[in-house]
């Protein structure tokens, strides 16, 4: 194929980000179908992309023309829609998490194996410029052996989610902020420090309208023995710009400031800190970069930057944190073996 044709399944806020990313970073990827149960949203996205509007995946599979499906739906719909797309022989890129439960992930991965098509779980932070700069600095030994790390993220109540977003409903999301936005911040820690072995943490609900947790404080112990602090919240009226990442090593410290505006390195030669430049793109560009990665896997046979089972690390970490909040003790992340061959981490 000279180009990859794709259907957008779900035409909300994330679909708009994916479309902007395709235009900027993913040539040879063409949107030919826009699917949403809201006809107006489907038509609007179809008008923007030049695709055909549909109100169901079944209708699109029957009448549309596309090689792949980009699934951007509430978490509880991931399993059914991904499996149906695989049954139709389509390549699939699926927004994180793969699904809210490990059993559902097992069924999705089995369907992917049976289809033999390309499967990618979209985790945008794999392509965040600051995450890649930090990874490079650690790999180059800029701060020596890592001792400790800290990751925090948060957002004011409401924001762009609307009045009663599906993310406020635990049966749809599978939890709260850790299983959802938390994955974007757990992935970089795993990129930098390796696999997480166990978790201890607490959760809270300062945002009463949200059924799942809107506050989480945890410690992650990695297989290497390094410990990282993890802080997440969705509450309040405003955020104060400042540090969101700190990685401390024996020979220096890396700091990332809010909105990925700066990555700073502190070491013996730069006691006041020096700004480290990375790729000239932003976190918003990560949507296009991940879809370019997917396109390359389909069209060129290139390996994905992270296979689909990599996303199980974020899901398992979230589930371990939830168990820890109940048991008030350390909980293992990887408590059984993976049986999915090449799809295993």
Q: How far apart are CA 333 and CA 253, in angstroms?
A: 27
DSSP bridge pairs for 7? 33, 69
The whole-number pLDDT of residue 242 equals 86
Which secondary-structure segment (H or E) carries 323?
A: helix 312-327
In this structure, the number of other CB atoms found within 10 A of the CB of residue 39 comes to 11
Cα angle: 273, vertex 278, 283; to 5 degrees: 110
Alpha-carbon distance 35 to 8, whole Å? 6
Give pTM, 2 decimals.
0.93
* Tokens linked to 270: 């730069």
State the pLDDT at residue 85: 98
Domains delineated in the chain:
4-124+285-306 (3.40.50.720), 126-282 (3.30.360.10)
Which DSSP letter does residue 168 get? G
For 210-239, the pLDDT digits (tens) are 999 999 999 999 999 999 999 999 887 766
C-alpha distances in angstroms, 21 versus 27, 151, 309? 10, 26, 24
pLDDT at 317: 98
Reported as a single tens digit per residue, the pLDDT across 249-274 is 999 999 999 876 789 999 999 999 99
Give CA 235 to chain center in angstroms. 21
What number of helices (H) and strands (E) belong to the chain?
Answer: 10, 15
At residue 342, the pLDDT reads 41
Q: Which residues of the chain have pLDDT under 50?
A: 338-345
Burial class of residue 172 in the structure, from the number of CB atoms within 10 Å of its CB (0-12 exposed, 13-18 middle, 19+ buried):
middle
pLDDT of residue 155: 82
pLDDT at 277: 80
């Amino acid at each position: 194929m000279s180009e990859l044709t794709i259907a957008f399944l779900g035409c909300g806020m994330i679909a708009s980000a994916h479309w902007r990313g395709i235009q900027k970073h993913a040539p040879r990827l063409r949107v030919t179908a826009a699917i949403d149960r809201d006809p107006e949203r489907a038509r609007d996205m179809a008008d923007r992309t030049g695709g055909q509007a549909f109100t169901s995946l079944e209708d699109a599979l029957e009448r549309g023309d596309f090689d792949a499906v980009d699934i951007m739906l509430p978490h509880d719909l991931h399993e059914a829609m991904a499996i149906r797309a695989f049954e139709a022989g389509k390549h699939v890129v699926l927004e994180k998490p793969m699904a809210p439960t490990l059993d559902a992930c097992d069924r999705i991965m089995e369907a992917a194996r049976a289809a033999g098509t390309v499967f990618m779980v979209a985790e945008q932070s794999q392509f965040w410029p600051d995450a890649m700069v930090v990874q490079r600095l650690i790999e180059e030994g800029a701060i020596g052996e890592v001792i400790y790390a800290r990751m925090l993220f948060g957002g004011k109540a409401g924001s762009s989610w609307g009045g009663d977003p599906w993310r406020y409903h635990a049966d749809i999301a599978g939890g709260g902020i850790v299983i959802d936005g938390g994955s974007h911040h757990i992935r970089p820690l795993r990129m930098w420090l390796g696999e997480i072995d166990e978790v201890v943490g607490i959760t809270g609900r300062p945002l009463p309208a949200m059924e799942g947790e809107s506050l989480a404080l945890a410690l992650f112990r990695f297989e290497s023995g390094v410990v990282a602090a993890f802080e997440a919240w969705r509450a309040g009226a405003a955020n104060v710009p400042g540090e969101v990442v700190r990685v401390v090593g024996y020979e220096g410290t890396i700091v990332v400031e809010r909105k990925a505006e700066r990555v700073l390195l502190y070491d013996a030669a730069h006691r006041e800190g020096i700004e480290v430049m990375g790729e000239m793109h932003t976190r918003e560009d990560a949507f296009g970069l991940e879809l370019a990665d997917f396109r390359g896997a389909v069209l060129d046979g290139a390996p994905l930057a992270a296979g689909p089972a990599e996303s199980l690390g974020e899901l398992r970490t979230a589930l371990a944190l939830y168990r820890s909040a109940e048991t008030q003790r350390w909980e293992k992340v990887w408590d059984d073996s993976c049986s999915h061959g090449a799809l295993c981490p």
